[in-house]
């Protein structure tokens, strides 16, 4: 991933850089666990124990059960890899001027919303998410919205963004310099 500094102005400060929790890829983890269970049933020959008529010829030193188990194990590993890549390639950056969401490996997607366009910052949490202290922040501009999915401590992130609602954009001043006077 390219550093966030390439999309930031001189003097702009990064307030928060975070990634979603593993629950963003929950369905992939569930699929991986399912394939691991099915793989285990074939490797342990549980199918033959309950259905003795199930064919189990050996091909090249491998039984049919072992080959089928290996295929399901491969699928489980693929789903685990997809889940981790989905989580690792998604990043949220909050600066003192804008919100940035980056995701993707080969097809890179970057969404930026300056604070001047913010209209609402909503927090969505299910009961299980409240227990786990995670949630989704929905940033609304009126025309578009940006989801900051499955982040830890969502109330703090919402508060950080809500304090910047309607804030004027970066004026190009260096930190510590007085603001320009208007007549």
Q: What tokens were used for 170?
A: 């970066």
- Mean pLDDT across the stretch 82-102? 93
pLDDT at 183 over 90: no
pTM value? 0.72
Q: Are strands 134-140 and 145-152 parallel, antiparallel or unpaired?
A: antiparallel
pLDDT digits (tens, 9 = 90+) for 120-135: 999 999 999 999 999 9
pLDDT digits (tens, 9 = 90+) for 7-60: 566 678 999 999 999 999 999 999 999 999 999 998 888 877 887 777 777 888
DSSP string, 103-172: E-SSS-EEEEEEGGG--EEEEE--HHHHHHTEEEEEEE-SS-EEEEEEEESHHHHHHHHHTTTTPPPP-S
**91 within 8 A of 103, measured Cβ to Cβ:** yes
pLDDT at 1 over 50: no
- Among 62-76, 124-138, 156-170, the minimum mean pLDDT is found in 156-170
Query: Which element (helix H / strand E) includes 42?
Result: helix 26-43
* Average pLDDT of every residue of the chain: 85
pLDDT band at 5 (very low <50, low <70, confident <90, very high): very low
């Amino acid at each position: 991933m390219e550093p966030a500094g390439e999309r930031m102005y001189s003097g702009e400060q990064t307030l928060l850089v975070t990634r979603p929790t593993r629950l963003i890829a929950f369905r992939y983890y569930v699929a991986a666990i399912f394939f691991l269970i099915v793989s285990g049933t074939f490797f342990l020959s549980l199918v033959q124990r309950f259905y003795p008529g199930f064919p189990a010829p050996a091909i090249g030193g491998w039984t049919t059960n072992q080959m089928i188990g290996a295929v399901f194990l491969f699928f489980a590993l693929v789903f685990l890899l997809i889940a981790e890549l989905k989580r690792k390639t998604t990043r949220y950056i909050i600066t003192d001027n804008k919100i940035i969401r980056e995701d993707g490996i080969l097809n890179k997607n970057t969404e930026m919303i300056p604070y001047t366009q913010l209209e609402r910052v909503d927090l969505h949490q299910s009961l299980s998410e409240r227990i786990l202290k995670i949630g989704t922040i929905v940033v609304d501009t009126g025309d578009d919205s940006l989801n900051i999915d499955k982040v830890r401590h969502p109330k703090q992130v919402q508060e950080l963004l809500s304090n910047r609602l309607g804030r004027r954009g970066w004026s190009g001043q260096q930190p510590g310099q007085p603001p320009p006077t208007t007549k």
